[in-house]
Chains A and B, each alone.
Chain A
Amino acid sequence: MELFTNQVLAGIATGAIYACMALAVVMIYQAIDHLNFAQGEMAMFSTFISWQLMQWGVPYWWSFLLTLAISFAGGILIERLLFKPLAKAPVLTNVAGFIALFAIVNSVAGLTWDFTIKQYPTPFGSAPFLGSQLISTHQAGMIGVTLLMLVGLYLFFQFTRIGLAMRAAAALPESARLVGVNTSWMIALGWGMASAIGAVAGILIAPVVFLEPNMMGGVLVYGFAAAVLGGLSSPLGAVIGGFLVGVFENLAGTYIPGVGNELKLPIALALIITVLVFKPAGLFGRAIVKRV
């Protein structure tokens, strides 16, 4: 029983990271109807920036906040330079754009910081949390920071005017323009926020997976699985999907014989396919019916 509880809690901790990645993916998907394959690489790059800041002597939490700001600005810049011009281009053009972004960010990170694995600090330490062997302080920190951010995002979207305008622009761009919302900037803002959310995920997971240019590859696949499970049209679904995938992954690795650590990733992929076959809109997504 202790093993079970332990695995569930650890699953919730990594699930928090998947939830962040899924949320970032869904935010951009809502804005422009495309999956951002480079979301993980952007998060990795943000993590490197925070690492670099700390190397220069900036304290952890200052580098954390500074990195969020830089990532936010960077996300907006990427949208303005690369994806705004592609707004009316066909799907495949956009896919090529995302793959290019993936390759560029990955290579630039490798060039700047090389591909060796680096230690990344945690401000929470890795002692047992509250004296319990079930979960470490860093894992508890991951969950805590993520929940704090999710509550903040919820309040932003529910109770601020910009949040309302962003929701309107995502739901019905034409109607949003007709009440005077600058939908183009709302998309850019969505990119900035997604980028900052990804940065949080990268910084929190880096002490676990270590810092290197390919650190987010697996994490993003889980994030995609979470987004598909919860429904690409539902931010809340994506978050719940993230936690579910984290727990599911851990339990499968522990209890299904022969899965172990090596086969955990295929489980995420199997999950994506299963959901797409049986419930294409995800658990919380709305099925889109097109009239012909």
Chain B
Amino acid sequence: MTAMLNVKDLRAYYGQVQALHGLSFALNEGSLTTLLGANGAGKTTTLRAICNMVRSTGAIEFEGKPLSGKSTENVVRLGIAHVPQGRGTFTTMTVEENLQLGAITRNDKKNIVSDIERMYDHFPVLKERHTQQAGTLSGGEQQMLAVARALMLRPRLMLLDEPSFGLAPLIVRDLFKILGKINREDKVTILVVEQNAQLALELADQAYVIETGKIVMSGNAKEIASNEDVRKSYLGY
């Protein structure tokens, strides 16, 4: 089986500083993969490199097509939704406008309307607040809005950058449950970057561990979670 996303020898730079040092990994279609690592390991940079938001070299292929040289918006148009760190909510716009923006590249008006309804089924709280300014939502609600906005693209692949950040543990559990459901039912391949390793490993089927810009460990999420040495040395729990 060929991989949906294939990353080979990825190196990324912020000015003169190199943040990724030849990173390689692959995502299978339909998988739910987590990318773990400490602060500053290069998790966010990896996601940003996939969407061409940071200068990088190496090869990134999505469904057999190279992504290098494509602008961020054109990468997105291929069906890669990216929920950035800090959620990227359009705070001055309403919840519903945020959802419509998620579908801004689509032209199938009828389906957009029904997709918005579907998001309200996934996240009932968004329906209650659909005319409210998104900036007035709580952190957890904004994260749900960010996930919903990304899903409005009808993505083939969804990248999430620390969705648990700043959220209460119970809300994180809810959110991860929904991510699992989206992965199974909507057949969206998901790559989630996390610092909350324990929870991410429960959710994911594949895992990669990244340290100072390199992959140091990869494999089945359950195996990594049960390997005490790995847990202690890389994941800190």
Contacts and interface: CB of A to CB of B under 8 A. Distances in A.
Interface in A174-203: 174-183
Interface stretch (A8-16, A162-170, A264-272): A162-170
B84 A179 contact: no
B82 A178 contact: yes
A199 B145 CA distance: 40
Interface residues of B, number: 23
B95 interface: no
Contacts of A172: 88, 90
A171 B134 CA distance: 13
B93 A179 contact: no
Given A161-B100, A180-B105, A181-B104, A175 B72 contact: no
Contacts of A176: 101
A177 B101 contact: no
A181 B73 contact: yes
A177 B100 contact: no
B92 interface: yes
Contacts of A168: 90, 93, 101, 104
B97 A179 contact: no
A178 B72 contact: yes
B101 A183 contact: no
A171 B51 contact: no
B102 interface: yes
Chain A contact residues, majority secondary structure: helix
Interface in B134-168: 149, 153
Given A167-B93, A174-B84, A174-B88, A179 B53 contact: no
A180 B153 contact: yes
Given A178-B82, A183-B73, A165 B90 contact: no
Contacts of B53: 174, 177
Contacts of A167: 93
Interface in B63-99: 71-73, 76-77, 81-82, 84, 88-90, 92-93, 97
Given A161-B104, A165-B101, A181-B104, A171 B93 contact: yes
A100 B102 CA distance: 39
Interface of B: 51, 53, 71-73, 76-77, 81-82, 84, 88-90, 92-93, 97, 100-102, 104-105, 149, 153
Given A177-B73, A181-B101, 5 more contacts: A168-B90, A174-B84, A174-B88, A177-B72, A179-B76
15 contacts: A161-B100, A168-B93, A174-B53, A174-B88, A175-B88, A175-B90, A177-B71, A178-B72, A179-B101, A179-B153, A180-B73, A180-B76, A181-B104, A182-B71, A182-B73
Interface of A: 161, 164-165, 167-168, 171-172, 174-183
